[in-house]
């Protein structure tokens, strides 16, 4: 082996011991020259950057010979299940779904992130609810999607209230079922994220018991299959360029962004406008150390409560792009 190549591998090996633990050498591999043949992207209606990239057709123009498919999911856990079984190559979720996936042994990689959006999730109660504070959740039924970003929001809210997780009655429902249960008063509160939060707010004007501010950063993560990451690091770089371009459009042409998202998602323009107002500038790119540490706190909290079966080391499944 040439001395220069040996030194390069040693440098990669040393760098693979990132924040919190080792990272597989394959994750630090350089961009592959393999042509892109297929890219299946999972997204939710709240994934503003992904929706704008889709509607603008930028990826299709970059890769005219590739088959690019866009698949919508109601929440992150379902999206990551599809990714784990090989039905997707790339997708976006909140903070909690990847923790549950890693704890379940799913072979996924964190490949990127957007800045946190603490105002984009909340715990809601009906306007006439007797619940006035987080402490009032004691003994109450709270609807949420298990393993979603709302799950961690509720964990933190219970902690802030000085309660134990066993002091509340979590009711695990998909967003659509949770809203129905919430409106008919089958549950006392609902932990939810945008755009479901915005749509409910405009439709029935619930009270916000708490938002995520000061409780949950509500980070957004891009995840990919290991095979795709190892073979197409160059495509990930291109994806982040287009996603950041979409974010600039959102900041500079809000009306145009609202129309693109509303036209595709079927959401009312008022709902889209409201959830974009709560969303800070959100460029996309590889994960930084501070975000890994934030995510490790999410994982530790779920393990300490017995909500995942084993502790996980987030840094072990974080992709590190090769340095030029």
pLDDT in tens, 90-106: 999 999 999 999 999 99
Give mean pLDDT, residues 254-259: 95
Tell me the percentage of the chain whose pLDDT exceeds 70. 89
Question: What does the H/E/C string look like for 37-58?
Answer: CEEEEEECCCCHHHHHHHHHCH
CA distance 91 to 14: 29
Q: Which residue has the higher pLDDT, 321 or 314?
A: 314
Tens digit of each residue's pLDDT (9 = 90 or more) over 294-307 = 999 999 999 999 99
Topology of the domain comprising 118-211: D-Maltodextrin-Binding Protein; domain 2 (3.40.190)
Instruction: Indicate if the pLDDT at residue 20 is higher than 80.
Output: no
Give the integer Cα–Cα distance in Å for 110 and 226: 10
Asked if 121 contacts 216 with a C-beta cutoff of 8 angstroms, the reply is: yes
Q: Residue ranges per domain, the chain?
A: 3-117+219-317, 118-211
Class of domain 3-117+219-317 as given by CATH: alpha beta
229-234 long-range Cβ contacts below 8 angstroms, 24+ apart: 229/27, 229/109, 229/111, 229/319, 230/26, 230/27, 230/29, 230/32, 231/32, 231/34, 232/31, 232/32, 232/34, 232/36, 233/29, 233/30, 233/31, 233/32, 233/321, 233/322, 234/31, 234/32, 234/33
* Structure-token pair, residue 214: 């000061």
**pLDDT value at position 1?**
38
Each residue's pLDDT tens digit, 266-282: 899 999 999 999 999 99
- The residue-averaged pLDDT of 217-227 equals 91
pLDDT in the model for residue 282:
94
pLDDT of 34 reads 76
d(C-alpha 21, C-alpha 317), whole Å: 10
Tell me what pLDDT residue 69 has: 97
Is pLDDT of 4 > 70? Answer: no
Q: For all residues of the chain together, what is the average pLDDT?
A: 89
pLDDT at 122: 97
- This prediction's pTM: 0.85
Whether pLDDT at 257 is above 70: yes
pLDDT band with cut points at 50, 70 and 90 for residue 215: confident
Q: Based on the number of CB atoms within 10 Å of its own CB, is 166 exposed (0-12), middle (13-18) or buried (19 or more)?
A: exposed
pLDDT at 33: 54
- Per CATH, 3-117+219-317 and 118-211 having the same topology is answered yes
**pLDDT at residue 198 is higher than 70:** yes
Q: Is the pLDDT of residue 5 over 70?
A: no
Q: What is the pLDDT of residues 43-80, one digit of tens each?
A: 988 899 999 999 999 999 999 999 999 999 988 999 99
User: Helix 175-183 vs helix 196-204: angle between axes, to the nearest 10 degrees?
Assistant: 20
Residue 46: per-residue pLDDT: 81
In this model, does residue 6 exceed pLDDT 60? no
Region class of 160: left (phi > 0), else alpha (psi between -120 and 50), else beta: alpha
What is the per-residue pLDDT for 143?
A: 98
Tokens describing residue 230: 């190892």
């Amino acid at each position: 082996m040439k001395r220069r190549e040996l030194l390069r591998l040693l440098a990669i090996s040393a760098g693979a011991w990132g924040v919190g633990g080792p990272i597989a050498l394959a994750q630090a591999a350089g961009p592959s020259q393999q042509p892109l043949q297929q890219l299946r992207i999972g997204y939710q209606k709240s994934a503003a950057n992904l929706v704008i990239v889709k509607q603008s057709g930028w990826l299709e123009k970059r890769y005219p010979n590739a088959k690019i498919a866009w698949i919508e999911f109601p929440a992150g856990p379902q999206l990551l299940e599809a990714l784990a079984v090989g039905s997707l190559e790339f997708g976006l979720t909140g903070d909690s779904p990847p923790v549950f996936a890693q704890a379940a042994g799913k072979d996924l990689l964190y490949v990127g992130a957007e800045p946190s959006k603490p105002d984009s999730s909340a715990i809601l109660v009906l306007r006439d609810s007797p619940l006035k504070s987080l402490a009032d959740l004691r003994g109450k039924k709270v609807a949420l999607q298990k393993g979603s970003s709302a799950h961690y929001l509720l964990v933190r809210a219970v902690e802030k209230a000085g309660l134990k997780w066993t002091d509340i009655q979590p009711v695990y429902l998909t967003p659509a079922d949770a809203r129905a249960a919430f409106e008919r008063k089958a549950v006392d509160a609902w932990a939810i994220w945008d755009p479901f939060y915005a749509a409910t707010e405009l439709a029935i004007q619930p009270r916000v018991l708490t938002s995520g501010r000061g409780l949950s950063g509500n980070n957004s993560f891009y995840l990919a299959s290991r095979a795709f990451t190892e073979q197409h690091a160059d495509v990930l770089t291109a994806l982040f360029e287009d996603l950041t371009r979409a974010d600039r459009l959102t900041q500079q042409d809000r009306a145009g962004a609202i129309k693109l998202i509303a036209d595709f998602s079927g959401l009312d323009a008022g709902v889209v406008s409201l959830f974009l107002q709560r969303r800070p500038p959100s460029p996309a790119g590889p994960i930084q150390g501070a975000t890994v540490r934030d995510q490790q706190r999410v994982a530790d909290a779920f393990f300490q409560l017995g909500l995942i079966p084993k502790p996980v080391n987030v840094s072990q499944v974080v992709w590190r792009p090769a340095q030029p």
